[in-house]
Amino acid sequence: MTLTAAFLTLWLGHRWLKVPLGVLGGVLGGLQTQPAVLAFALEKTGNDQPNLGYATVYPVTMLLKIILVRILL
Protein backbone atom coordinates (compact mmCIF):
# COMPACT_ATOMS: atom_id res chain seq x y z
CA MET A 1 0.00 0.00 0.00
CA THR A 2 2.78 2.42 0.93
CA LEU A 3 4.79 1.55 -2.15
CA THR A 4 1.78 2.16 -4.40
CA ALA A 5 1.12 5.55 -2.80
CA ALA A 6 4.79 6.50 -3.17
CA PHE A 7 4.97 5.59 -6.85
CA LEU A 8 1.64 7.26 -7.57
CA THR A 9 2.77 10.46 -5.83
CA LEU A 10 6.05 10.55 -7.73
CA TRP A 11 4.46 9.73 -11.08
CA LEU A 12 1.55 12.18 -10.82
CA GLY A 13 3.70 14.94 -9.39
CA HIS A 14 6.42 14.65 -12.00
CA ARG A 15 4.39 13.83 -15.12
CA TRP A 16 1.19 15.81 -14.64
CA LEU A 17 2.08 18.60 -12.24
CA LYS A 18 5.70 19.08 -13.44
CA VAL A 19 7.02 19.30 -9.88
CA PRO A 20 10.81 18.81 -9.62
CA LEU A 21 11.89 15.45 -8.24
CA GLY A 22 13.77 17.12 -5.38
CA VAL A 23 10.57 18.70 -4.10
CA LEU A 24 8.68 15.44 -4.62
CA GLY A 25 11.21 13.64 -2.42
CA GLY A 26 10.27 16.00 0.40
CA VAL A 27 6.56 15.62 -0.35
CA LEU A 28 6.94 11.87 -0.13
CA GLY A 29 8.66 12.18 3.24
CA GLY A 30 5.91 14.50 4.45
CA LEU A 31 3.14 12.18 3.29
CA GLN A 32 4.70 9.30 5.17
CA THR A 33 5.69 11.58 8.09
CA GLN A 34 9.19 10.12 7.92
CA PRO A 35 12.14 12.45 8.54
CA ALA A 36 14.42 9.66 7.32
CA VAL A 37 12.93 9.98 3.83
CA LEU A 38 13.57 13.73 3.99
CA ALA A 39 17.18 13.16 5.04
CA PHE A 40 17.67 10.71 2.17
CA ALA A 41 16.17 13.17 -0.33
CA LEU A 42 18.37 15.99 1.00
CA GLU A 43 21.46 13.81 0.71
CA LYS A 44 20.67 12.74 -2.85
CA THR A 45 19.67 16.15 -4.21
CA GLY A 46 22.36 18.24 -2.52
CA ASN A 47 20.04 21.26 -2.23
CA ASP A 48 17.15 22.47 -0.08
CA GLN A 49 14.27 21.61 -2.43
CA PRO A 50 13.10 18.60 -0.38
CA ASN A 51 12.65 20.87 2.65
CA LEU A 52 10.08 22.87 0.70
CA GLY A 53 8.02 19.80 -0.17
CA TYR A 54 8.25 18.38 3.35
CA ALA A 55 7.23 21.65 5.01
CA THR A 56 4.28 22.00 2.66
CA VAL A 57 2.78 18.55 3.19
CA TYR A 58 3.77 17.49 6.73
CA PRO A 59 1.36 19.72 8.74
CA VAL A 60 -1.63 18.75 6.61
CA THR A 61 -0.74 15.07 6.87
CA MET A 62 -0.48 15.21 10.65
CA LEU A 63 -3.88 16.89 10.95
CA LEU A 64 -5.47 14.35 8.61
CA LYS A 65 -4.04 11.46 10.62
CA ILE A 66 -5.52 12.90 13.83
CA ILE A 67 -8.92 13.46 12.22
CA LEU A 68 -8.99 10.02 10.56
CA VAL A 69 -8.23 8.28 13.85
CA ARG A 70 -11.19 10.06 15.44
CA ILE A 71 -13.45 9.07 12.54
CA LEU A 72 -12.32 5.44 12.53
CA LEU A 73 -12.78 5.05 16.28
Name the residue ranges covered by the structural domains of the chain. Answer: 2-72
- CA-nearest of 58, 13, 19 to 37 is 58
CB proximity list for 8: less than 8 A, separation 6 or greater: none
Per-residue pLDDT of the chain (73 residues; tens, 9 = 90+): 889 989 999 999 999 999 999 999 999 999 999 999 999 999 999 999 999 999 999 999 999 999 999 999 9
Q: Give the whole-angstrom CA distance, residue 68 versus residue 73.
A: 8
- Sorted by sequence, the CB contacts under 8 Å of residue 65 that are 6+ apart come out as 33
Query: What local confidence, expressed as pLDDT, does residue 66 receive?
Result: 94
Q: What is the pTM of this model?
A: 0.85
